[in-house]
Structure 1
């Protein structure tokens, strides 16, 4: 494997940046504004991300290696890296510290494989669960996205790997992402779709990837309002912006708008940008500024001391890292329902039946640009077999013969039914004329593809989901088994919300594990048998009726993104979800008491609450702080998440939890005044287990006068 020493020895830190810019010719500077070698590498490997991609800033004459890029929402896609649970699963942990550790491991494995630029922080807001790439983000709430994304970015950059936050911005529809024009009001843009990006930038993230889509008629990759006015002038971002890969740039004037690098190869920069500068259509100062941003970023990571002495290849997918992947899988699973069936008892479960074709399917998520190729994957069947032994675990049928499987389930002490989706039903949409390596599809996935969406004659995979429910044959399988076996446990594998109305009332237990990574099967066994208690919380709302979600049109070329979505929309419409945002059961019970809250000197507030484990098992609780707004100056959500924590307690133990809410997280954006304002009036401080927790605690804090915070 390549080492990381080449870019650590770059001369960018040894020479004055202005001197480098003066030394470079115009042709060299423009060459630094594009990736190079992508098509050659991709043709040779026939697989996306087989090697780090040169992604700009390189100059051979001066010995500047530049950026070496890898995607990374689930792990480093180069080589055989650790495959973590997908981002949505990690969002379900509500655990900043855990996500920081994930970012650290990604950076270590990136360094060990010659990568210094990692595209791992995807925080496009989940507006609707049909979005094909929902699995790559953390959930539906902007505050939650910002907290988790900042943790991942900071953990990565701790090891001097440049973190990229993407896709900037409003990129949450897959199939028409190259053409879609998102129409959005200024207030909605500022309050709903940008705050999480700002939080990550202010946490120190060094690079931004633009989105494919348009916003209010202008492509994101050449949107000066987005890339210059907001990102740089208002937020103070000093790093560089690079395009999404292939078709992310539509004009050399993207450079004037603030797009520093075109990836993966120069289609509009290169000769076209050179011509525009020579003819005076674009000022050379634009080029110089882009090069300075790149060199300054290289200088930062080269001059900052590493926390490790070295980054050998032996660290890639080492035991410590795969152990972390297992821990994340354990902490991300959400227990949706349990009427006493779980946890299973090893002393009474002598004969366990496992059902569903996904039970022994290596299913870590989509097979697009975020695909990771770990050295092994533990399937649910393998994990359960390793836990109990082959004599006690039997794969007893799948959805091809649901009635037969139902009858077979009678003979088992308990039945585990694994259902959900694969890369065939959701993920990055890969048309048949684009090769990301999907042609090495295993037979198990090929069989699923043959029956999915009528695509028998096309290798295209992924895209936006066409249904929010499970496939009909899986529902049939669940119902047949639940009818025959009273100890039926459903395990859902999916990237976002799955509607469950057709079967949830018929089963005693259900668990959503998302795409649980390379150790998912091992984690599942430990969860089902009570070695650890489930502690994940839903980072999205699961509705009873699909019309409760905002309008979603996977064929749309123009869409209006309104202010309301997720739990805020449901509360506004007085619609009760099946499972609310923030919801998740454990094997214990918890109680809250002694809530108090107060203003602090900088204009924010703090709150304190005592959490006690009232059950008989050690478990983790996730208290959440929501704020109810006065809503007089402008209509606002009934409740908005503004804090969360994880508290692990043994039976009878208690702990006081402190929440801190920053002033900007209290404010709304006034588009007429172009400023953020904190309303006067009474603010409700709510501590709850979910956005719809009827047993919440509430106090009120008075804000005596309106406060303007500026832009």
Structure 2
């Protein structure tokens, strides 16, 4: 490690973990199990993440600096770091390698700013698109979550920054997250809500953050079944678990359940935990075990060799990282539909009208714990102006007066309408009495939605969405502009699914950019004018009717999480989504051929397919592998995603892509026998452009015998 950790490195070189623990007093060990200084730092700065937070593990007497935490789904929140597109946007890339590079860039900027614990890997299942913090996860499918989360974690830990995977587990409603009790049966828990966590843990992720909610009656931060039985005993996790920040712990006995660190300050650990140990109500061995996990993790990253000699501040928001942010924004945008309007021709499109309040807003996502403060943000208007020049781009109207905007639209060769949401309407739920530095949101944004949440008069901001449609004023804006200008393109800014039934017929083209990060405006210009072909794919299902999603009560204090959601639910019910999981258009066309599959002795599956670019433009294709199950031993989805790849091809070029499906990804969980089983019988192998691709290639492969994989 570099020089800044020299003192800590010295003690780990001179003493074993056991020797360090033996030298610590009980009071010191308990102190290491809590963060400290959060409230004083926050009171001084008035900003969440103004500097790294001491998050446990420190001991000044022995020279142990401990854990220095920063949140990070969109980038390191400390300082003025690179703001990448939100996690949902990056999920839309379906690109593991690109996500690994994002993780590496985050780690470089973390190290440069004194951070060694990064809370960046959020993989909670998008059970319903109304979830307020949907933008912080990758999508609705467990396999996809695991693959993307593993890449981010490994990219970060390549530079010896401890990755945190969160929120463990079943955290998918925002407004009542502090007291929600999620009821789930064992098979659903194991097959739907935990496999992605397990994949990330087994890939080497060193830290876990517990969720706020309860699972089957017990808070996650003190849930022995989750934190010890499953995480440690079954999965073999040797890192440490820390709580979510504020109200994540409700008893000192959380230490016995498997929680190692309470953050941000000791509410139930500290003096309360110390008193329980001294009374004999909690065994000191539980304290030693927690401290050992913390120290073992610190030693691992402290003594490991660094890939580079130093981590200077010049790495923060450097040109390489901002360029990466732009590339991710370009490759994450999803072209929803295109009636021969895109790409625009910059030679013939001389004058562009830009419409919508969001066109000029620095709108990178919610203003809660995942907020990043980059040195600059390129808005849609700035990006288009930079690309075409100030004389060719005009901000011509917004939803405050859709009729006037429509009248103005006729004067332009093309009209770009920017619609969607902001931190006011979705994101982390922030009660009015809590200040995370969100006060700089323009007041006029509260008028974008009818009855929008405001930041004054005792009201809140962020939280879950109750409506999956665009605000009526934005729909009116789209219709008025599109009626006047036949070359209208709608750009949707949102953290998850937005229903389009009330305006799809009016707009010739639509592209969803999610929250596209600090370089989003530049990326948008490149996409609209064909410098880059869109290649993002929806990591969720967009319904025609909101009732087709699972029940979602934003005021619930008890919720039943069932087996069915997302594309599996639509398949089961025979409902046609507006856009299926995996949907996304490009500026080219592709064909698949030569599908073949075979099994290995251990039960794993190899599948290969050839992809050909039959169009006239270079583009990236994203073939997806789905497995259809026999479903005789237990009800299973009609099909499940079990592979995906990114294939960049020039016009006329072909390439073979190969998928490998590991045995556990073929298995179902038999709760009665507490084991994973691979069914015998015919399995359907499908390679497709989406979960509802009518041109998909399929074949059947017999599994002659059942495999029992154990736990």
Name the count of aligned residue pairs.
Answer: 710
- Looking at structure 2, the residues matched to 237 and 40 of structure 1 have their Cα atoms a distance apart, in angstroms, of 33
The correspondence of residues 132-281 of structure 1 with structure 2, limited to 5 A, is 132-281=132-281
Residue 364 of structure 1 is matched in structure 2 by 364
Residue 434 of structure 1 is matched in structure 2 by 434
- Looking at structure 2, the residues matched to 11 and 411 of structure 1 have their Cα atoms a distance apart, in angstroms, of 71
- Looking at structure 2, the residues matched to 408 and 130 of structure 1 have their Cα atoms a distance apart, in angstroms, of 34
Deviations 1:518-568 (A, max 9, x none): 000000000000000000000000000000000000000000000000000
- Looking at structure 1, the residues matched to 271 and 447 of structure 2 have their Cα atoms a distance apart, in angstroms, of 46
Q: Secondary structure at the match of 1:391?
A: helix
Residue 315 of structure 2 is matched in structure 1 by 315
**CA contact 1:13–1:302 (8 Å) conserved in 2:** no
The correspondence of residues 439-588 of structure 1 with structure 2, limited to 5 A, is 439-443=439-443, 445=445, 452-453=452-453, 457-458=457-458, 460-588=460-588
Offset of 1:371 from its aligned partner? 0.1
Q: Secondary structure at the match of 1:506?
A: coil
- Looking at structure 1, the residues matched to 218 and 257 of structure 2 have their Cα atoms a distance apart, in angstroms, of 11
Deviations 1:154-211 (A, max 9, x none): 0000000000000000000000000000000000000000000000000000000000
Q: Secondary structure at the match of 2:620?
A: strand
**CA contact 1:4–1:111 (8 Å) conserved in 2:** no
Offset of 1:443 from its aligned partner? 4.8
**CA contact 1:627–1:684 (8 Å) conserved in 2:** yes
Offset of 1:434 from its aligned partner? 1.5
Moved more, 259-268 or 6-15: 6-15
- Looking at structure 2, the residues matched to 3 and 471 of structure 1 have their Cα atoms a distance apart, in angstroms, of 53
State whether structure 2 residue 78 is matched by structure 1 residue 78. Answer: yes
Offset of 1:453 from its aligned partner? 3.8
**CA contact 1:239–1:297 (8 Å) conserved in 2:** yes
- Looking at structure 1, the residues matched to 366 and 10 of structure 2 have their Cα atoms a distance apart, in angstroms, of 36
Q: Secondary structure at the match of 2:425?
A: coil
Which 5+ residue runs of structure 1 have no aligned equivalent?
Answer: none
- Looking at structure 2, the residues matched to 623 and 324 of structure 1 have their Cα atoms a distance apart, in angstroms, of 23
Offset of 1:452 from its aligned partner? 1.3
CA separation of 1:409/1:225 partners in 2, compared to 1, >3 Å: closer, same or farther?
same
- Looking at structure 2, the residues matched to 224 and 12 of structure 1 have their Cα atoms a distance apart, in angstroms, of 30
Offset of 1:600 from its aligned partner? 1.1
Aligned-residue CA RMSD (Å): 1.3
- Looking at structure 2, the residues matched to 439 and 343 of structure 1 have their Cα atoms a distance apart, in angstroms, of 38
**CA contact 1:352–1:415 (8 Å) conserved in 2:** yes
Q: Secondary structure at the match of 1:411?
A: coil
**CA contact 1:3–1:112 (8 Å) conserved in 2:** no
State whether structure 2 residue 337 is matched by structure 1 residue 340. Answer: no
Q: Secondary structure at the match of 1:241?
A: strand
Residue 614 of structure 1 is matched in structure 2 by 614
Residue 301 of structure 1 is matched in structure 2 by 301
- Looking at structure 1, the residues matched to 466 and 302 of structure 2 have their Cα atoms a distance apart, in angstroms, of 47
Offset of 1:5 from its aligned partner? 3.7
Deviations 1:452-477 (A, max 9, x none): 14665235210001210000000000
Deviations 1:608-632 (A, max 9, x none): 1000000000000000000000000
Residue 694 of structure 2 is matched in structure 1 by 694
State whether structure 2 residue 661 is matched by structure 1 residue 661. Answer: yes
- Looking at structure 1, the residues matched to 9 and 349 of structure 2 have their Cα atoms a distance apart, in angstroms, of 59
- Looking at structure 1, the residues matched to 300 and 453 of structure 2 have their Cα atoms a distance apart, in angstroms, of 48
- Looking at structure 1, the residues matched to 625 and 700 of structure 2 have their Cα atoms a distance apart, in angstroms, of 13
**CA contact 1:38–1:264 (8 Å) conserved in 2:** yes
Offset of 1:9 from its aligned partner? 3.6
Q: Secondary structure at the match of 2:120?
A: strand
- Looking at structure 2, the residues matched to 510 and 53 of structure 1 have their Cα atoms a distance apart, in angstroms, of 42
Offset of 1:436 from its aligned partner? 1.2
Deviations 1:630-664 (A, max 9, x none): 00000000010000000000000000000000000
**CA contact 2:7–2:63 (8 Å) conserved in 1:** no
Offset of 1:581 from its aligned partner? 0.2
CA separation of 1:454/1:242 partners in 2, compared to 1, >3 Å: closer, same or farther?
closer
- TM-score normalised by L of structure 1: 0.99
Residue 406 of structure 2 is matched in structure 1 by 406
**CA contact 1:11–1:64 (8 Å) conserved in 2:** yes
**CA contact 2:453–2:460 (8 Å) conserved in 1:** no
**CA contact 2:169–2:193 (8 Å) conserved in 1:** yes
Offset of 1:29 from its aligned partner? 0.1
Q: Secondary structure at the match of 1:302?
A: helix
Residue 394 of structure 2 is matched in structure 1 by 394
Deviations 1:23-81 (A, max 9, x none): 00000000000000111111111110000000000000000000000000000000000
- Looking at structure 2, the residues matched to 361 and 8 of structure 1 have their Cα atoms a distance apart, in angstroms, of 44
- Looking at structure 2, the residues matched to 72 and 560 of structure 1 have their Cα atoms a distance apart, in angstroms, of 30
- Looking at structure 1, the residues matched to 7 and 399 of structure 2 have their Cα atoms a distance apart, in angstroms, of 52
**CA contact 1:337–1:585 (8 Å) conserved in 2:** yes
Offset of 1:6 from its aligned partner? 5.8
Offset of 1:11 from its aligned partner? 2.0
Q: Secondary structure at the match of 2:505?
A: helix
The correspondence of residues 54-69 of structure 1 with structure 2, limited to 5 A, is 54-69=54-69
Q: Secondary structure at the match of 1:345?
A: coil
Offset of 1:439 from its aligned partner? 2.6
**CA contact 1:4–1:115 (8 Å) conserved in 2:** no
- Looking at structure 2, the residues matched to 297 and 133 of structure 1 have their Cα atoms a distance apart, in angstroms, of 29
**CA contact 1:249–1:268 (8 Å) conserved in 2:** yes
**CA contact 1:533–1:619 (8 Å) conserved in 2:** yes
Moved more, 132-141 or 504-513: 504-513
State whether structure 2 residue 414 is matched by structure 1 residue 424. Answer: no
Q: Secondary structure at the match of 1:311?
A: coil
**CA contact 1:330–1:524 (8 Å) conserved in 2:** yes
Q: Secondary structure at the match of 1:505?
A: coil
**CA contact 2:149–2:200 (8 Å) conserved in 1:** yes
Residue 35 of structure 2 is matched in structure 1 by 35
- TM-score normalised by L of structure 2: 0.99
**CA contact 1:10–1:65 (8 Å) conserved in 2:** no
- Looking at structure 1, the residues matched to 410 and 99 of structure 2 have their Cα atoms a distance apart, in angstroms, of 42
Deviations 1:85-135 (A, max 9, x none): 000000000000000000000000000000000000000000000000000
Deviations 1:193-241 (A, max 9, x none): 0000000000000000000000000000000000000000100000000
- Looking at structure 2, the residues matched to 154 and 103 of structure 1 have their Cα atoms a distance apart, in angstroms, of 7
Residue 287 of structure 1 is matched in structure 2 by 287
- Looking at structure 2, the residues matched to 503 and 64 of structure 1 have their Cα atoms a distance apart, in angstroms, of 59
